[in-house]
Amino acid sequence: MPTTVIRNAAMVVGWDVSAGTHRYIVDADVVFDGGVLTFVGRDYAGPADTVIDGAGMMAMPGLVNIHAHPSSEPMNKGLIDEIGSPGFYNSSLYEYLPIFRADAEAVPHCVRVALSELLLSGVTTLADLSMAHPGWLDLLAEAGMRVCVAPMFRSARWYTRNGHLVEYEWNEAAGEKAMAEALSLIDRAEQHPSGRLFGMVVPAQIDTCSEGLLRDSRTEARARGLSWQIHAAQSVSEFHEITRRHGCTPIGWLEHLGLLSDRSIIGHGIFLDDHPSTPWHTRRDLAVLADTGTTVAHCPTVFARRGITLKDFGRYQRAGVNMGVGTDTYPHNMLDELRLVSYLARTQANDPRTMNSTDLFNAATIGGAKALGREDIGRLAPGCRADIVLVDMTHPMMRPTHDPLRSLIYAAGDRAIRTVLVDGQAVVEDGKVLTIDYPAAAASLHEAQARTKAAVPGLDWAHRSAEMISPLTFPAG
């Protein structure tokens, strides 16, 4: 296979196999062929069919995002930034999620916008938790990203008729059928000719899935060697619903069912038995997550908009919980998300030392890779996939560059990302997405949002308009 060398990178975030950690390597080379890394270090003297000048660049592993909803969330930009239901402890899930939704025509535009934002912010592997939609696999493959296809299914849908009571419409047979269809889709994903798609089993939410569906889905995940993810401990309303049904917390219920392991991921995992908003008579949820090896997919932005947050990233990590990061909502900017992870952890802990940038970058790389059962991503080492991000260290917002990763996360953000490679193939060059027409997708999404807004009164329990639910910042006239 042709050999490509990134020559003389000013800095490489390489993987120290013996120490099991990332390490800065100054003035180094990164070599790959056939989509696989073959050399990471100084003074490469082997063959080079193609040379990429690394002068002034930092080469780092592509980021691993373990929780996102590309097929729906971009539609909500500007609509749900400042709304949450007082009757549901400020969550937006039960009153607003069902009414602000993309129609079938808009879904591909949503996906293209989200994937563009992810690629531009250095994400090379994504877990896409979506409801199945036509052309999904080919759309993901088109982007050139490595994607864990995670079709959601459930036994019930939630709704409200008054803005303060969550009700559930159950159809267990439909849930079982949806799971079978999801498993079939996962099989197709893993056989996709792109070679970059793989699967994960995802019963959608702990409160919308029957006990049988939860158990069966976990059995299927184990039999197939796949990770398993569920939204749990994500709202106060859900916490109370599960304690009412089962007499234990959401984490306690999952433990009781034997569903937690090192291939289990809890989407959000905020409301544990010791959270100030959900105090329970036990204090063991955090230890259960750690003892079972369960990963928490931490996505702070969507909750911070409503005054809700994890208590706190550093505490979970010190307890031994594997932490990963996702972009549950728009913008799908992983670097912005990482910055917020750090700031919220420190303010919630009242301690700037609760976590550091080492913990943060690990969560966005090896923590996510571990959750997905992948040892070949999230690090730059021979034998790993050539998923590489080149950062312009000469960008004004990267300077001064005492510590390039901190400059990237806390200052420059995606503005300094120049090139993104997945399996050694460029998907971003000169800060522009090569595989997707991002501006065209955004323009189409703008038009689609008008259709979504027009449909809101017919879907809302109180028949309000979108403008009544989400007033403009200033009156328009």
Rounded to the nearest integer, the mean pLDDT of the chain is 97
Q: Domain 63-371 class?
A: alpha beta
Strands (E), 312-468: 322-327, 388-392, 417-422, 425-429, 432-433
Residue 428: pLDDT above 90? yes
Residue 381: pLDDT above 90? yes
φ, ψ of residue 187 in degrees (nearest 5): -60, -45
Cβ contact 299:41 at 8 Å: no
Eight-class DSSP state of 62: P
State both tokens at 280: 């329970």
Eight-class DSSP state of 366: I
Cβ contact 1:38 at 8 Å: no
What is the distance of C-alpha 163 from the center of its chain? 29
pLDDT tens-place string over residues 251-264: 999 999 999 999 99
Q: How confident is the model at residue 477 (pLDDT cuts 50, 70, 90)?
A: confident
pLDDT tens-place string over residues 110-143: 999 999 999 999 999 999 999 999 999 999 999 9
